[in-house]
Amino acid sequence: MAQIVVLGAGLVGAAIAVDLHSRHTVTACDRDADKLARLRDHDALITRPLDVTDHNALAAAIGHADLVISAVPGFLGFETLRTVIEQGKQVVDIAFCPENTLELNRLAKEKGVTAVVDAGVAPGLSHLILGYYSAKFDVDDFECLVGGLPKVRTWPSQYKAPFSPVDVIEEYLRPARLKENGQVVTKPALTDRQLVHFDQIGTLEAFNTDGLRTLLTTMPQIPNMKEKTLRYPGHLDFILALKKSGFFDQQPLDIGGHHIPPLTLTSSVLFHDWRLDDEDPEFTVMRVTLAGETASATQMITYHLYDEYDPNTRTSSMARTTGYTCSAMAELILSQRLTEKGVFPPELVGRDGHCFRFVMDYLAERNVRFRKETSEG
């Protein structure tokens, strides 16, 4: 039984803490007392108030830990991860910070730390799948389409977020990096709109976002790679209207003598409009497609994922798919299946077939299951 500290007790962080506490001693930390209070019904799960921006308090909170999980908002992710590594703690991170976490690789090696980053659904499982197959044959094309959506479509945004709207908006603003014909291409986020049909849902809208992340560094041999976010048709037009009208600008405006960035106000408004309550029905959908040359033929492999809110455990699908992936990565480290030191995005973990199968089996045990299709040409 290991000592685990989970930083962040939002919908995903809470799901991770609950999943792990049946096997380990888990301390869940958050500065929001209400979030911690929702975890107190789980016997033996320890809660602790913590502001991760307080370096000394963070170091003290994780001092006893065998492993730390970072489930903080993206804008806090990089410095939190750096502090955890500096303290010499094994860590799994799902903060999805905009910075390049591979920059901490040398520090992790110096501190003797195994750090798995981007350990969610996408990036996360999508990268894990690519890593596994890139070790088996030469992959030429990789595409990931992914989204988490409410089952009830409510005008005008038709969206609910299981995490901070600031992180979602940042995703909508950050330029998207793709790989086309061997070259890294940068396009504005929200571009290359396309309609895609899914059997369980119907038609969704896909558009560019910056989801390849570490793949641009770790998989330089793959000539074509892209990631797109999925939303209900109409959401993109809503977001583009807000962006065009200046609601996402960060230059402060003088409003009655108060200097307020429009983005701050917009995030506050959307926090309530996009709030995903504990029992709101929602789903996660992902389609990962990769193609390439084997020794005998061209092969195309597609992984389909559709997962819904679990009313029995009152766990959202985004918390299940992201959180259980993170828990599986934690168990890889704790069970000594993953022992190499440094920063490891999921594609590097997935190159080890034993690690890949462990994560997939772990998810299947929790009823998060993929449907796989294979064709040869």
Which runs of E-coded beta strand occur in the chain?
3-7, 25-30, 46-49, 67-70, 90-93, 114-116, 138-150, 176-180, 183-187, 194-198, 202-208, 224-231, 253-255, 258-260, 282-293, 298-308, 342-344, 370-376
- Assess contact for 152 and 322: CB atoms under 8 A: no
Q: What is the pLDDT of residue 377?
A: 65
For the chain, where do the domains classified as CATH 3.40.50.720 start and end? 3-120+316-369
What is the 8-class DSSP label of residue 145?
E
Asked whether the bond before 123 is cis by omega within 30 degrees of 0, the reply is: yes
On the CB side of 65, CA atoms within 13 Å amount to 29
Task: Reduce the DSSP state of residue 238 to 3 states and report it.
Answer: helix
Pairing of strands 3-7, 25-30: parallel
**Cα–Cα distance for residue pair 53/76, rounded to 1 Å:** 8
Q: What is the pLDDT of residue 305?
A: 98
Q: What is the pLDDT of residue 42?
A: 85
What CATH class is the domain 125-308? alpha beta
Give the largest Cα separation in the chain, rounded.
70
Local confidence pLDDT in tens for the 377 residues of the chain: 899 999 999 989 999 999 999 999 999 999 999 999 999 888 889 999 999 999 999 999 999 999 999 999 888 999 999 999 999 999 999 998 989 999 999 999 999 999 999 999 999 999 999 999 999 999 999 999 999 999 999 999 999 986 677 788 889 999 999 999 999 999 999 999 999 999 999 999 999 999 999 999 999 999 999 999 999 999 999 999 999 999 999 999 998 888 999 999 998 899 888 988 778 899 999 999 999 988 778 899 999 999 999 998 889 999 999 999 999 999 999 999 999 999 999 999 999 999 999 999 999 999 999 999 999 86
Task: Reduce the DSSP state of residue 310 to 3 states and report it.
Answer: strand
CA angle 128, 277, 98 (to 5 degrees): 40
Helix (H) or strand (E) holding 358: helix 353-365
25-37 exposure pattern, b = at least 16 Cβ within 10 A, e = fewer: bbbbbbbeeebbe
For the chain, where do the domains classified as CATH 3.30.360.10 start and end? 125-308
Helix (H) or strand (E) holding 53: none
Q: Which tokens hold the place of 175? A: 């330029």
Q: Which CATH superfamily is domain 3-120+316-369 in?
A: NAD(P)-binding Rossmann-like Domain (3.40.50.720)
Q: Is 255 exposed, middle or buried (0-12, 13-18, 19+ CB in 10 A)?
A: exposed
What is the 8-class DSSP label of residue 42?
S
Q: Which tokens hold the place of 11? A: 């919908």
